[in-house]
Amino acid sequence: MGHQACSQGHKVLYYNTQKLMMKTKMIRIDGTFLKFFDKLAKAKLLILDDFGLAHLDRKQQMDLMEIIEDRHGRSSTIIASQLPVGSWYDIIGEASIADAILDRLVHTSHRIELKGESLRKKL
């Protein structure tokens, strides 16, 4: 989907979720976080891969909330995860933040659940 969006001329950003969370921590230190969050908000499609491999700390929860809030209703976000959405509450941690994030994601989403063996085995 990201490749198709690129071929149609849309700006697409792809991040491994944990690497994105590390990046947000670093940009807060160097003071460029507003510019970076603006970049994330303006992309037509943001792809977050491997969501849920690690629990989010308080700052990461707030950063994810801000990212999702800035994009909500304006642009598309794809979140790829090995975990069912029901377990995302535990990954996010704080119940009220998880509710806010998932409310913005789930109610306007198209969910695609893949079954079967990994395509990587076929390579």
DSSP β-ladder status, 76-81 and 12-16: unpaired
Among 85, 21, 26, residue whose Cα is nearest residue 58: 21
* Predicted local confidence at residue 119, as pLDDT: 63
* pTM exceeds 0.75, yes or no: yes
* Predicted local confidence at residue 15, as pLDDT: 97
Distance, CA of 32 to CA of 24 (rounded, Å): 9
Residue 111 Cα distances to 20, 32, 54, angstroms: 22, 33, 22
* Predicted local confidence at residue 120, as pLDDT: 67
* Predicted local confidence at residue 123, as pLDDT: 61
Among 32, 40, 31, 30, residue whose Cα is nearest residue 64: 40
pLDDT < 70 stretches in the chain: 119-123
For 1, half-sphere exposure in the C-beta direction (CA atoms, 13 angstrom radius) is 15
* Predicted local confidence at residue 122, as pLDDT: 66
Distance, CA of 110 to CA of 105 (rounded, Å): 9
* Predicted local confidence at residue 113, as pLDDT: 79
